[in-house]
């Protein structure tokens, strides 16, 4: 059953869920870049090491994962009621809730809210949801300048680039490249800037401080929203989020509908799982929570935009829906051998890595991201790493079954099924395979059109004796 209205996919022509190329084509380009692979290997190995250390020190880590998974499953089963309760509590606390069916609607709502303030610039806290819907592009088209305040997001924005990791969006950049971007694009930057990390951070801080103090409208995402109390939570490491959430007069939060949690106490579980699985920290440096508006303290106007954009369609799939359990920790990216080599851009969507390979095709419809479910070796490392135990390999296999297959592949599979159904034909095929081996095809792969399958795989040798022959001989 679908619980929330009509299941609709994320619309085409807006947002950042679809790439221009298929995964294999984009990955080929990325694999040819040795600097990118070095950056990725260094970053993912470092984060993995930290995460392993801090999760190993918790004796109940596996129980926490199980509770996190159970809470998410409960939330998905009760999503309509929980969202209505959230709306009621946020409204009672002085906030305004807007429901956005898709990216177009969400962009329109946010643009109108900003216009109503009379401002032409907004500061932003890092948010996957706003990247998903292409909010920056929509604001810019309306003459409103969005300024990213997370350091890595700022690097990506100034470099007119795309993020390549959920947590470390500029993971593909090294410090020399960052210096170059700052010198070229950052207003008021010191021309003597070096590529020393503290100097780069200080330059960003100077620019951002000025922007924080002169921009009265902020846009954020949310890591969690508590239905019981109407409280929103953002966790981050740099303090830029705290500035965005407290300094402006108007705060607009765009949140995917799956981010709701039932009770205040549930945060106890997620605030342990998230930092350990994502940055390898015991707790987040900054955890900001707010409930509606408070007179004389913080933003005096608060808007919450609840975004569907394909999530109802994901919820309608009993196998695929657990992709909505994701708390965007990025642990699955850091352990994925495919992500570590191909990097985030190859996935074409704001959601890279294993979670992107299952979430993006479901939000857009598999036909629009048909190569992503194959961007995996199905090794299962993502499942082991996921703090809310999403069985990503199972969803990948499920999506491969629903993805459109080329005519030649369908014909080959139909022929194989026909042969395997008929013992005489099957025995003849086995003899033919042995014969092919004897005449020297061994090691050369399969002939076209099946050669694509063996282009990157070894064709196993057929055994010298089949089970049937062995049995007949006895
Ligand atoms: S799927 Fe799991 S491991 Fe991957 S980002 Fe989401 S919560 Fe983290």
The alpha carbons of the chain give a radius of gyration, in whole angstroms, of: 25
Q: pLDDT tens digit string along 400-415?
A: 999 888 888 888 899 9
259 DSSP 8-state letter? G
Which atom of ligand 1 lies at the shortest distance from residue 392's CA?
A: 1
Cα dihedral across residues 379, 270, 356, 47: positive or negative: negative
pLDDT of residue 6: 64
Distance from residue 106's CA to the centre of ligand 1 (Å):
25
pLDDT at position 3 is 47
Specify the pLDDT at position 172: 83
Note the pLDDT of residue 131.
Answer: 96
**Beta-carbon count within 10 A of 456 CB:** 7
Q: Pull the structure tokens for residue 17.
A: 């869920």
Nearest CA to ligand 1 atom 8: 329
State the distance from the centre of ligand 1 to the C-alpha of 118, rounded, in angstroms.
39
Mutate-to-test residue for ligand 1 from 69, 128, 324, 330, highest number of ligand atoms within 8 A of CB: 330
Q: What angle do CA 260, 264, 270 make, to 5 degrees?
A: 65
pLDDT at 443: 57
Nearest CA, atom 3, ligand 1: 386
Measure 205 CA to ligand 1 centroid, in angstroms. 30
Atom number, ligand 1, closest to the C-alpha of residue 355: 1
Nearest atom (ligand 1) to Cα of 353: 4
Can you give the pTM of this predicted structure? Answer: 0.91
- Residue reference for tokens 């040798």: 461
- The domain 1-77+313-404 is classified under which CATH number: 2.60.40, 1.10.1060, 3.40.50, 1.10.260? 1.10.1060
Homologous superfamily, domain 81-311: NagB/RpiA/CoA transferase-like (3.40.50.10420)
Whole-angstrom Cα distance, residue 381 to residue 378? 8
Residue 1 has a pLDDT of 42
CA of residue 390 to ligand 1 center, whole Å: 7
Q: What is the pLDDT of residue 184?
A: 96
Q: What pLDDT, on a 0 to 100 scale, did the predictor assign at position 139?
A: 98
Q: Which residues line ligand 1 (CB under 6 A)?
A: 277, 326-332, 355, 385-388, 390
Q: CATH 1.10.1060 in the chain, residues?
A: 1-77+313-404
Scan for tokens 């679908």, then name that residue: 2
Ligand 1 geometric centre to CA of 117 (Å): 36
CATH 3.40.50.10420 residue ranges for the chain: 81-311
> Quick check: 368 and 349 in contact, CB under 8 A?
no
Instruction: Please tell me the distance from the alpha carbon of residue 133 to that of residue 18, in angstroms, as a whole number.
Output: 11
At how many degrees (to 10) do helices 267-278 and 61-77 cross? 120
Taking CA atoms only, the protein residue closest to ligand 1 atom 7 is 326
Residue 144, both tokens: 């409103």
pLDDT in tens, 418-428: 999 999 999 89
Q: Which residue ranges of the chain lie beneath pLDDT 50?
A: 1-3
């Amino acid at each position: 059953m679908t619980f929330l209205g009509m299941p609709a996919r994320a619309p085409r022509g807006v947002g950042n869920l679809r790439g221009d190329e298929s995964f294999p084509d984009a990955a080929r380009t990325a694999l040819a870049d040795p600097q990118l692979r070095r950056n990725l290997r260094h970053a993912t190995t470092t984060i993995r090491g930290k995460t392993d250390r801090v999760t190993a020190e918790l004796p109940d880590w596996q129980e926490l994962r199980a509770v996190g998974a159970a809470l998410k499953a409960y939330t998905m089963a009760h999503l309509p009621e929980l969202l209505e309760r959230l709306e009621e509590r946020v409204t009672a606390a002085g906030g305004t809730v807007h429901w956005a069916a898709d990216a177009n609607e969400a962009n329109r709502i946010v643009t109108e809210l900003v216009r109503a303030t009379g401002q032409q610039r907004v500061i932003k806290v890092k948010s996957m949801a706003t990247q998903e819907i292409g909010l920056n592009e929509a604001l810019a088209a309306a003459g409103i300048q969005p300024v990213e305040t997370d350091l890595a997001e700022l690097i990506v924005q100034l470099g007119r680039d795309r993020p390549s990791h959920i947590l470390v969006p500029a993971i593909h950049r090294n410090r020399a490249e960052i210096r170059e971007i700052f010198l070229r694009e950052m207003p008021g930057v010191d021309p003597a800037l070096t590529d020393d990390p503290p100097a780069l951070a200080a330059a960003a801080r100077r620019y951002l401080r000025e922007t924080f103090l002169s921009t009265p409208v902020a846009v954020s995402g949310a890591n969690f929203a508590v239905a019981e109390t109407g409280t929103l939570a953002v966790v981050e490491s740099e303090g830029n989020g705290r500035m965005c959430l407290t300094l402006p007069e108007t705060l607009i939060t765009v949140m995917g509908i799956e981010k709701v949690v039932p009770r205040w106490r549930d945060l106890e579980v997620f605030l342990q799982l998230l930092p350990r699985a994502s940055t390898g920290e015991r707790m987040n440096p900054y955890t900001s929570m707010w409930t509606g508006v408070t007179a004389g303290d913080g933003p005096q106007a608060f808007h919450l935009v609840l975004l569907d954009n394909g999530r109802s369609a994901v919820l309608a799939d009993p196998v695929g829906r657990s992709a909505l359990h994701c708390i965007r920790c990025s642990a699955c990216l850091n352990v994925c051998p495919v992500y570590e080599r191909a990097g985030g851009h190859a996935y074409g969507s704001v959601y890279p890595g294993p979670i992107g390979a299952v979430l993006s095709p479901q939000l857009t419809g598999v036909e629009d991201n048909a190569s992503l479910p194959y961007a995996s070796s199905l090794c299962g490392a993502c499942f082991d790493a996921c703090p809310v135990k999403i069985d990503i390999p199972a969803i990948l296999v499920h999506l491969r079954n629903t993805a459109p297959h080329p005519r030649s592949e369908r014909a080959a599979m139909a022929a194989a099924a026909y042969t395997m159904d008929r013992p005489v034909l099957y025995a003849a095929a086995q003899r033919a395979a042995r014969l092919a081996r004897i005449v020297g095809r061994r090691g050369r792969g399969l002939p076209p059109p099946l050669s694509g399958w063996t282009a990157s795989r070894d064709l196993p040798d057929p055994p010298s004796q089949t089970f049937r022959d062995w049995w007949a001989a006895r």
